[in-house]
Structure 1
């Protein structure tokens, strides 16, 4: 960052919204979600929103969400935005530096964030602060009018019930997918460890579907029903099992969405598996390379990050 730029941090406020819109106007072709959720983020008790100002002008912002994972206090750094005039000046580095200060003050044990596969500056920032790369993720979408129904298959599909918790949990923790990203799942754009209590809740909401060959579970999906910009979708946060059956299960989900009159699309954010990616593309799913993501994690349990920075 240029030394003559005096950066001041403070908590975000509702009246910052016009400035937030200005900062976000060029993000995702003008379709950034942040202005639409600004008030919601400010009101959520487990989220802190910070803005950075230069000469009383809003130059950047971020959100820090606190979660509990089996007694471990974790932080999720997201909603990072830098105003166009201040890009390429190291502002993202300063935003993360401030977030780490906050995390240390609040004795949070782990800090995580995700960024695009092609966002090289944020990869370098992660390396400089000592973050480790947990996994890379592929983003796939499917529409009902494009994806065919599974054909010539002896697989049956059904929702798993709450009393099948052990079956589902054992399948997940013994899967290759569990090993690929150490048990994380992308739950509506927030990555966190998939826990037994999460799975219990999903089963209660009929949000766990399996593909069975006879009595044998061959593939399993965990998902949400999300609504965004007047469109509804199934957001698959975890998918595992036999590759061919995974693809068939994804086809099934596309065609068995329950919402009317709006039709669901299927969105999947899954740890990159070249074999699955190939089968999904052959089936008609679109894998968008520009939406591939990386998940980074920094452990703060042993020593303060500032002592490791060089």
Structure 2
């Protein structure tokens, strides 16, 4: 996996093996574009860390190196879920490399990552969300492309409940403006169509008509969301936008785009939406995954009851 940002940066360690693993994911495992992109980013992070230790080949890896890498991720303040995902990527990569004969022994067999917390996801209440979206709308009034894009991102993520990887992969023709529907490519390359509301439609129209036109370049293609240089917005940039806005919300531990997905699902169930309809909207394979949000709603109900009922 070679660096693609110009020719000044050196090739990362075990680049050929990493590229072979990515091809394996695409062609044999039929992983989605978003999943492959996540794997690629995780491997590049691991390779860069290995290079910092002077390790240039797979044969130079050992359990100590792998544990040091996980420790560095923890020191950076990454969540347990993120560290667990990156560890899983490297374990899968090294298992593949061993099967393919690139490694004599797999150094990741005894690698353990921190377990994900099983607590309920943090969600925003309606009273927290409305000022957030109102502030984004006010900031966009002047027509600044950054503000227009931020408002469209927030409104679409909450209005549709789609994943951030699905959002950055959207093209202009994925939007059905008349019916207010968006076509997304989810996990496992499964396509689904998701509705979005009037505020999201207005925000998208403003971004496309007044913001995107100022950043679009001849090589921008059909990407819906762009950066200032005209390139397709990536997940890291989208997360940064959302986290910056959520940082101003008091009384919540919600962070990142997934918090808006959690919030959308919880608000739908609070409002009486059918569980299977929410499953379809979110693109969950299993109904059990969607049922997590019923627990969130019950937990919110219990807290409200304890705070408000005189005989609680």
Bigger share in helix:
2
Greater RCO, 1 or 2 (C-alpha within 8 Å, sep 6+): 1
Using structure 1 for the length normalisation, give the TM-score.
0.32
Question: What's the TM-score once normalised by structure 2's chain length?
Answer: 0.32
Q: Which has the higher strand share?
A: 1
